[in-house]
Structure 1
Amino acid sequence: MGGVVLVKKGKVMIHVMHDFTVKPIRTQKFIDCDWLRMKEAETPFTNYTVFVTNPPADLDLRDIHTHGFNDKMAGHYHYDTTPLRVEYECYLQLADSIYRVDRAPQEADFQMDIRSRESNTTAKSWTPEP
């Protein structure tokens, strides 16, 4: 499933990912504190998102991957920071297949929480069984 998620009100936390790190990815702390640049973004903030359930392991996909922007900045969406004020509007479509392009040059050598992490996507496709 994928589509557009507009955050109409509130604020959101995003990260900007610089060039892919050449240092080994061994801890979540390294990702969060040393590599990614976290920023709070104003709304409206427009996101393009993909939700994937049960893809084959050889695709190494995150179950949620979201890129967004407003008139001042862009990055990977993480979460809203104003839960009592936030308002979302979503336009989503189901998909029959998914393609992976541009696998990251290295992968983490520890188990990451894939629900809250982003990844680059070698060309492969997958279509779920009917």
Structure 2
Amino acid sequence: SAEHEEENNFISVIRRSVKQYSKGPMALGGIFRIEKGTVKAHVMPPFVDDDLTSKQQVDQWLKFYDMHAPLNCLSVLLTEDINNAGFRLEHSHFFSDHGECGHYHFDTTPKEVHYHGYFIVCEEAVLVDPVV
């Protein structure tokens, strides 16, 4: 299922691994490159006038596509929602030299995908414009 694939994406696996060995909340930021393979991604169409109030509405509004390597990704991850402030536990966007860009969800070619990444531990996590 798509939900299972998303739970096992590259960033989710790193996040769960860090959480397993950390003694408290941790945040990492970094870059990774998808050197081979295909990923599921979304781009946002023009905003709608009505508020989107459910995950189902958001998923129907977003436009999902298969995107192809090489892709350059910028990513953040947190082991937990620090102080229940409303942090997303992970978020990754990407761009390419061949015109593909978007929000990374998961790879769709697990036998051929190849990732290469660099991450650092963040000293501080700041939530800008929290949802109220």
**Closer, same or farther in 2 for the Cα pair 1:17/1:9, shift >3 Å?**
same
Q: Which deviates further from its counterpart, 88-97 or 10-19? A: 10-19
TM-score w.r.t. the length of structure 1 is 0.71
TM-score w.r.t. the length of structure 2 is 0.70
1:61, 1:21 → 2: CA distance?
Answer: 24
Aligned to 1:44: 70
**Aligned pairs for 1:26-45 within 5 A:** 26-33=53-60, 35-45=61-71
> What residue ranges of structure 2 are gaps of 5+ in the alignment?
1-27
**Does residue 95 of structure 1 match 2:115?**
no
Q: 1:25 aligns with which of 52, 56, 79?
A: 52
2:56, 2:95 → 1: CA distance?
Answer: 25
Aligned to 1:4: 31
Displacement of 1:22 in angstroms is: 3.9
Displacement of 1:61 in angstroms is: 1.2
Displacement of 1:17 in angstroms is: 1.8
Q: 1:81 aligns with which of 99, 103, 108?
A: 108
> What residue ranges of structure 1 are gaps of 5+ in the alignment?
108-130
Contact 1:9–1:44 (Cα < 8 Å) also in 2: yes
Q: Tell me the number of residue pairs that the alignment of Structure 1 and Structure 2 aligns.
A: 103
Amino acid at match of 1:73: E
Which structure is higher in helix share?
2
Q: CA RMSD, aligned part only? A: 1.8
